[in-house]
Amino acid sequence: MKVLGIETSCDETAAAVVEDGRRILSDVVFSQIKTHKKYGGVVPEIASRAHIEKIGATVASALEKAGVSIGEVDAIAVTHAPGLIGALLVGVNFAKALSFASGKTLVPVHHIKGHVAANYLAFPELTPPFLSLVASGGHSEIVGVEDYTTFQTLGRTRDDAAGEAFDKVSRVLGLGYPGGAAIDAVSEGVDPSAIRFPVVEFQDAPYDFSFSGVKTAVVNYIHNARQKGETVDAPRVAASFQDAVARALSGKLIRCACDKGLKKIALGGGVAANTCLRSMLKKMCEEKNLSLFLPPPALCGDNGAMIAAQGYYEAVSGHSAGLSLNAKAVLPVGFAGS
Ligand code: KG4
Ligand code: ZN
């Protein structure tokens, strides 16, 4: 079964064709990073307009690279939630029009489920149940993947997403946008133990995160240093911040896996590309005898293939939508119908 996947929830216009949820036939990602870079972050209205400009060519290119016509595709999967509402609407309306014109089944896909499904593309042996951490610019969630379409949120951020904190700290350190990859690069080989930034714990919710505190701690540290006329050692601050975020994400994830008796852990989202997080998790999983699935960095960020992969499993479970499908800026992943 061939599924066309369409993703426009943030700043990537992406489309792909995937066979049986596992084999990538094409994967086209048009990144808007250059457009948003000068503003230091994603500007929602500019993102929507850029999606409108690129969506037609991106989908056409995905079909062409896969060597299939729209008539040979079995279903059209599209991210309908969560994300920037104007950006989501471009993909949803494009997919609806294509479904109407071609008569192909329309399949709505939750963005977080898509990030998890990126693992099916990288690891043919991976099957649910397992535990997943999805950490990106918009989300930081620990989800229990009960089967291909049933998810349970076990932990989530109470404030900022991990990627959001990376982007903010990078801006304050003058490392540019997007911040995650920049912080990752300058931290390479730098000792993170010199400055100890805090990891927040919640008594009532041991798997929940908070990243606004660590973000503020870094910003205060930099301001204090500058007020005293000291030069800020950007790589050292970046490495210490990265270490604090990685400790929070990996510590809570591993604790959750052990408590729930889940032996497999799969990562997703842009922050899952982080070198420090990946090596910390590898070490912890070895110690606890857990299997760790880390998709290649290209599949961690937003892409159409992950939407097509999840779309396949939604389609075989009988989940589809009519032309009344709407986009939703917010939709919990554990919610029935998400
Ligand atoms: O999944 P994604 O492409 O889009 C969203 O759904 O948000 O994630 C983008 C986020 C950005 O905040 C970016 O700074 C972060 O992922 N990111 C990283 C790395 N690469 C991207 N964060 C930490 N380390 C990285 N290597
Ligand atoms: Zn994403």
The Cα-based distances of 288 to 93, 206, 263, 272 in angstroms read 46, 19, 9, 20
| CB 302 near ligand 1, within 6 Å | yes
Q: Of the residues 42, 134, 136, which should be mutated to test ligand 1's pocket, given the most ligand atoms within 8 Å of the CB?
A: 136
Are 115 and 92 spatial neighbours (Cβ–Cβ below 8 Å)? Answer: no
Burial of 337 (0-12, 13-18, 19+ CB in 10 A): exposed
Residue where the block lists tokens 């912080």: 183
Q: Quick one: average pLDDT of 268-273?
A: 97
Look up residue 292 and give its two tokens.
Answer: 């760790």
The Cα-based distances of 20 to 244, 300, 313, 328 in angstroms read 39, 20, 8, 27
Q: Quick one: average pLDDT of 118-135?
A: 98
Give dist(CA 170, CA 178) in Å, integer.
8
Look up residue 113 and give its two tokens.
Answer: 């489920």
Look up residue 147 and give its two tokens.
Answer: 């089967």
Q: Dump pLDDT digits (tens) for 58-104.
A: 999 999 999 999 999 999 999 999 999 999 999 999 999 999 999 99
| CB 138 near ligand 1, within 6 Å | yes
| CB 295 near ligand 1, within 6 Å | no
pLDDT at residue 184, rounded to an integer: 98
The Cα-based distances of 217 to 145, 244, 248, 276 in angstroms read 34, 11, 15, 20
The yes-or-no verdict on residue 14 having pLDDT over 70 is yes
319 alpha carbon – ligand 1 mean position (Å): 29
Q: Quick one: average pLDDT of 168-181?
A: 93
SS3 at position 73: coil
Whose Cα sits closest to atom 10 in ligand 1?
137
Among the atoms of ligand 1, which is closest to the Cα of residue 12? 3
Are 104 and 77 spatial neighbours (Cβ–Cβ below 8 Å)? Answer: no
SS3 at position 336: coil
Q: Of the residues 33, 84, 166, 274, which should be mutated to test ligand 1's pocket, given the most ligand atoms within 8 Å of the CB?
A: 166
For residue 271, what is the DSSP state? Answer: G
Which residues are near ligand 2, the ion (C-beta closer than 5 Å)?
A: 136, 302
| CB 179 near ligand 1, within 6 Å | yes
Whose Cα sits closest to atom 18 in ligand 1?
180
The yes-or-no verdict on residue 170 having pLDDT over 90 is yes
Q: Dump pLDDT digits (tens) for 224-239.
A: 999 999 999 999 999 9
Contacts of 63 (CB under 8 A, 6+ apart): 4, 17, 26, 69, 70, 73
269 alpha carbon – ligand 2 mean position (Å): 5
Mean pLDDT of the chain: 96
| CB 170 near ligand 1, within 6 Å | no
156 phi, psi to nearest 5 deg: -155, 165
Q: Dump pLDDT digits (tens) for 245-267.
A: 999 999 999 999 999 999 999 99
pLDDT at residue 334, rounded to an integer: 78
Residue where the block lists tokens 């500019």: 46
Give dist(CA 65, CA 68) in Å, integer.
8
pLDDT at residue 153, rounded to an integer: 96
Contacts of 4 (CB under 8 A, 6+ apart): 15, 16, 17, 59, 62, 63, 70, 73, 75, 76, 77, 98, 104, 308
36 alpha carbon – ligand 1 mean position (Å): 14
Contacts of 115 (CB under 8 A, 6+ apart): 134, 136, 139, 268, 269, 300, 306
Angle in degrees, 0-180, between the axes of helices 234-260 and 179-187, rounded to the nearest 10: 100
The yes-or-no verdict on residue 338 having pLDDT over 90 is no
pLDDT at residue 337, rounded to an integer: 62
pLDDT at residue 198, rounded to an integer: 86
Bridge partners, residue 131, by sequence? 144, 265
20 alpha carbon – ligand 1 mean position (Å): 27
Q: pTM of the prediction?
A: 0.96
The Cα-based distances of 311 to 1, 90, 270, 317 in angstroms read 11, 18, 20, 10
The yes-or-no verdict on residue 335 having pLDDT over 70 is no
| CB 108 near ligand 1, within 6 Å | no
User: Cβ–Cβ contacts within 10 Å for residue 265, how many?
Assistant: 24
The yes-or-no verdict on residue 305 having pLDDT over 80 is yes
The yes-or-no verdict on residue 329 having pLDDT over 70 is yes
| CB 271 near ligand 1, within 6 Å | yes
Give dist(CA 95, CA 105) in Å, integer.
10
pLDDT at residue 286, rounded to an integer: 98
